[in-house]
Amino acid sequence: MTQELTTPAVQTEPARPGSGRGWWRDAVIYQVYVRSFADSDGDGVGDLRGVRERLPHLAGLGVDAVWLTPFYVSPQADGGYDVADYRAVDPLFGTLGDADDLVRTAHELGLKVIVDIVPNHTSDRHPWFRAALADRPRGAARERYHFRPGRGADGELPPNDWESVFGGPAWTRTAEPDGTPGDWYLHLFAPEQPDLNWDHPEVREEFVSILRFWLDLGVDGFRVDVAHGMVKAPGMPDIGRGEQARLIAGQALPFFDQDGVHDIHRSWRRLLDSYGGGPDGARVGVAEAWVADAERLALYVRPDELHQAFNFHFLTCPWDAAGMRRVIDESLAATASVGAATTWVLSNHDVVRHATRYAAAGPEQGLARARAAALLMLALPGSAYVYQGEELGLPEVLDLPDEVRQDPAFQRAAGQEGYRDGCRVPIPWSRTGASYGFGPGGSWLPQPETWGGLSVEAQAGVPGSTLELYRAALALRRRLPGLGDGPMAWLPAPEGVLALSRPGFVCTLNTLGTPVDLPVPGRELLASEPMAYGPPRGDGAGAAADGAGTVRLPADSCAWWAV
Ligand code: NOJ
């Protein structure tokens, strides 16, 4: 791999002074979707050595930590979220030694490492599930999962009406060796992902042991997959209606966001805290919890629970100033009520990339809005996650041929936000080459021909490129004491415009499709589009970028100002 060609010198920005209240409160964390980040061995699938070789890019970008998606032994029925051995690395991604090297190198570069933990379900190839299937008809090994007899005269109907998030029933029927149908087992996701029974003490003990394994290897925390799903309502009652996976609309569902999950998170917090480390070295947990509202989400980040929870209400908010302001206010109020910071996110490996989500009038508009949204997010109080490739302005790939798609949701019915391969296409590092520098071979999903022009190589050092916008924003965020954790207030602004104030700092966002004139808020620090300055109001003398006169905020733009 031609590392020198595409990796910048590691930036030497001083670390933020920090609030001393915990590194996670204002950290910028970069999500590495391991399959699609960098491939060191040319098999077309990203791997841990590939990630390690590219870490200087992330240090140079200016993030504080990386989150690695699952790289454990897995049949890959759901991109690795179906784990068969939680303590071993899948040969597709490397070895345990590679994981160890990666963590060490990241730490040398000043980056923390968060790994994914998948506690709601195992793979159907996990030894526990193999043992459960073999323990016929109703043996003790089945109690670690949810096996139930079916309904109907011959047990031919699923035990209840729950639907899988990936479509179809959430139950699959087992078969005896002679082919006779047996009991059913629960899987909220694919049939290859049987749900664990978290009422079973061995399940709880096993996960404490798995967490210890990775903490002892040196990881700085865990992203907890389906953190809202491990506990099911007693008796597993019917729901009585379809469309059960549309969670964000606020329904109470008997398989998500049950109060019992908080006991698990409390016990994990005690474990994380037992590793010490103080505010700068604490081991952390971040919840992937799709829950009804900001108040329910805040329960996951109470002082004795996890440290962060992804703010999916921000992610799903449409491009609308009033709506965004409402989500920001509700999120800040809810997290403040429990003393936590908010964790902003715009994209991840499960949703359509925001450059495409915001592209109502075409890709140019989508990119302009994506750049503006990034500056807004990085100006807000709290922590932020950046999904690989968003710093390049990558759009969703919408025209993948059906035969290359691997998302299990595609094989079943409608998925969470649609099908998820289009946001997982391997990222481009160089202008040319079989996989634009992703690796020495091809790539497991085809990259669009235009992606050479969006590569790291094509954007590095180019003023105004999306990569340089992110680098500049992250460098400023480190330098300006008023950003990150801390207070924020809204300033008066015309309809369609947001203006927020932090100590010594103002951020303006124009969500309209037309320019808006404002009195210059301060000295321009950074802007997603070039600002145009007019003469000072009144005497008409001279343009100003330093706090006098008027500024024309371009359509769909965001700017940062020193005040
Ligand atoms: C959330 C993960 O982000 C997603 O990719 C996965 O399919 C489900 N959880 C099930 O593990």
Q: How many CB atoms lie within 10 A of CB 149?
A: 12
Nearest atom in ligand 1 to 226's CA? 9
Expressed in angstroms and rounded, the spacing between residue 346 Cα and the centre of ligand 1 is 17
Instruction: Give Cα 547 to chain centroid, integer Å.
Output: 37
- Which one, of 254, 337, 266, 344, lies nearest residue 300 by Cα? 266
Q: How far apart are CA 92 and CA 47, in angstroms?
A: 7
111-to-52, 92, 99, 382 alpha-carbon distances in Å: 11, 24, 14, 18
Tokens 């009195």 label which residue?
519
Q: Which two tokens stand for residue 552?
A: 């024309």
Q: How far apart are CA 231 and CA 257, in angstroms?
A: 8
> Residues near 362 by Cβ (< 8 Å), separated by ≥ 6?
none
263-to-181, 242, 302, 306, 524 alpha-carbon distances in Å: 36, 29, 12, 11, 48
Rg, the chain, Cα only: 24
Cβ–Cβ under 8 Å, residues 50 and 516: no
pLDDT of residue 187: 98
pLDDT of residue 248: 43
Nearest atom in ligand 1 to 120's CA? 11
Q: How many CB atoms lie within 10 A of CB 461?
A: 11
pLDDT of residue 359: 97
Burial class (CB in 10 A: 0-12, 13-18, 19+), 167: middle
pLDDT, block means (10 residues), the chain with 563 residues: 34 51 97 98 98 98 98 98 98 98 98 98 98 95 98 97 91 94 97 98 98 98 97 94 56 89 98 96 97 96 98 97 98 98 98 96 97 98 98 96 88 62 97 97 97 98 98 98 96 98 98 97 97 68 61 98 97
Q: Which of 67, 71, 226 to mutate to test the pocket of ligand 1 (most atoms within 8 A of CB)?
A: 226
The secondary element (H helix, E strand) that includes residue 172 is strand 171-175
Pocket of ligand 1 contains residue 469 by CB under 6 Å: no
Cβ–Cβ under 8 Å, residues 444 and 451: no
Cβ–Cβ under 8 Å, residues 450 and 431: no
Residue type, 72: Y
Cβ–Cβ under 8 Å, residues 265 and 306: yes
Q: How far apart are CA 307 and CA 318, in angstroms?
A: 27
Expressed in angstroms and rounded, the spacing between residue 105 Cα and the centre of ligand 1 is 27
Cβ–Cβ under 8 Å, residues 328 and 364: no
- Which one, of 123, 470, 212, lies nearest residue 462 by Cα? 470
Pocket of ligand 1 contains residue 226 by CB under 6 Å: yes
Number of separate helices (H) and strands (E) present in the chain: 15, 21
Nearest atom in ligand 1 to 121's CA? 11
Cβ–Cβ under 8 Å, residues 97 and 204: no
Expressed in angstroms and rounded, the spacing between residue 224 Cα and the centre of ligand 1 is 10
Q: Which two tokens stand for residue 548?
A: 């006098």
pLDDT of residue 444: 97
- Which one, of 409, 416, 413, lies nearest residue 192 by Cα? 409
Expressed in angstroms and rounded, the spacing between residue 123 Cα and the centre of ligand 1 is 13
Residue type, 545: A
The secondary element (H helix, E strand) that includes residue 28 is strand 28-32
Q: How far apart are CA 435 and CA 56, in angstroms?
A: 20
Residue nearest to atom 2 of ligand 1 (CA): 225
Residues designated as active site? 225, 288
Q: Would you say the pTM of this structure is higher than 0.85?
A: yes
Pocket of ligand 1 contains residue 225 by CB under 6 Å: yes
* Extended beta strands in 381-512, E state: 383-387, 489-490, 497-502, 505-510
Cα dihedral 351, 354, 359, 362 in deg (nearest 10): -90
pLDDT of residue 547: 59
Query: pLDDT digit string (tens) for 146-205?
Result: 999 999 999 999 999 999 988 889 999 999 889 999 999 999 999 999 999 999 999 999
